[in-house]
Amino acid sequence: MHQMKRYVQWGGRVIVGVCFIWLTSIAFDLSYILSEMKVLFHNGWILLAMTIAYLSAFLLRAKAWQMYVDERMPFKRFVDGLFYSLFLNHLLPIKAGDLIRTGYLASSNQVSWKSALESVIIMRILDLLILGFIALAGVFYLGMSISYLFMVGLIVGGAALLGLILLKEKWRKVIFSQAKQAGSIIFSVKGIVLVLLIVVSWILEAVIVFAVSTQFETTLTFLKSIWVNSFTIAGQVFHFSPGGIGTYESFMSFGLRAFQVPIKEAYTIAILTHGYKFIFSFVIGFYLILSAPISWNTIKLWMKRKED
């Protein structure tokens, strides 16, 4: 099973990597990217709107996470945990953010490592389900064409992935036990609010795509931006480089092409959007170093640890 998982992961990464190389070969224009970047970073109001929306998205996700774990715990603990996940995912070539997020929450000594990890898993599953729902709903609502072969492949692939997970007894026990606990929380008034917070957070993150696209001659509406953002973030399961470089640009470029955005503009929008997120994450990293520092040795220990 472990070998099969590696084949699936690396197969996806190789395909995405080849797509990114091909996209770069036909759409990369440094002078064009730099000129558009200059226009973007000279528009203070657009940058302010992007920053407020992106920051608010993380605050809403932190609040949802706090509601799931324990509202008596300090809100800052959840915010900083998410920020550490963001920063290190953009800094390291591996996607270790969820383990760092787990370790930071567990270091409060108010929840165990196991409980912290399980809460992160549930939050991730909710993220993926919501992103997947938005992407699928957009296909039909926005009138996008999609082949039956793609739908069958998506369903079969999802079923195969779920089957691989459930074959492992340890994960099967965790998923079933957590599903019962998560269900009791999510299918309640508090759970409805929690899910709505996550939905709104992803809608807010789409503001970045929409704001960047406004400086190009495109017909990208805000609803379409929400779909493109959801499609792009969902594609980060094939993360293989710091910040998902290559994966992010490939998925966003193809997402924008679905709305007839020219490939050169689509690639440039993806580069500028991702570049902004890198800058934001490193600014957040500077904030964390000053307000909530963690030693590198502690981070390495968290990265090696997966369970009690």
Report how far Cα 115 is from the mean position of its chain's Cα atoms: 22
- Residues 262-277 have pLDDT tens digits of 999 999 999 999 999 9
* Phi, then psi, of 11 in degrees rounded to 5: -60, -45
Give the separation between CA 60 and CA 51, rounded to whole angstroms: 14
Report how far Cα 287 is from the mean position of its chain's Cα atoms: 21
Q: Quick one: pLDDT at residue 233?
A: 87
Q: Quick one: pLDDT at residue 25?
A: 82
Please compute, for residue 276, the number of CA atoms within 13 A of its CA located in the half-sphere on the CB side.
Answer: 27
Q: Quick one: pLDDT at residue 208?
A: 96
- In tens digits, the chain (308 residues) has pLDDT values of 455 555 555 555 667 667 777 788 888 888 888 999 998 888 889 999 999 999 999 999 999 999 999 889 999 999 999 999 999 888 876 677 888 999 999 998 899 898 898 889 888 888 888 888 888 787 777 665 554 554 555 555 555 655 655 556 666 666 666 666 666 666 777 888 999 999 999 999 999 999 999 988 877 899 999 999 988 887 776 666 666 787 888 889 988 988 889 999 999 999 999 999 999 999 999 999 998 888 888 888 888 775 54
Q: Which residues of 82-121 are buried (b: 16+ CB within 10 A; e: fewer)?
A: bbbbbbbbbebeebbbbbbbbbbbbbeeebebebbbbbbb
In contact, 212 and 44? CB cutoff 8 Å = no
Question: What is the sign of the dihedral through the CA atoms of 183, 187, 188 and 189?
Answer: positive
Query: Roughly how many angstroms between the first and final C-alpha of the chain, as a whole number?
Result: 22
Give the separation between CA 75 and CA 57, rounded to whole angstroms: 15
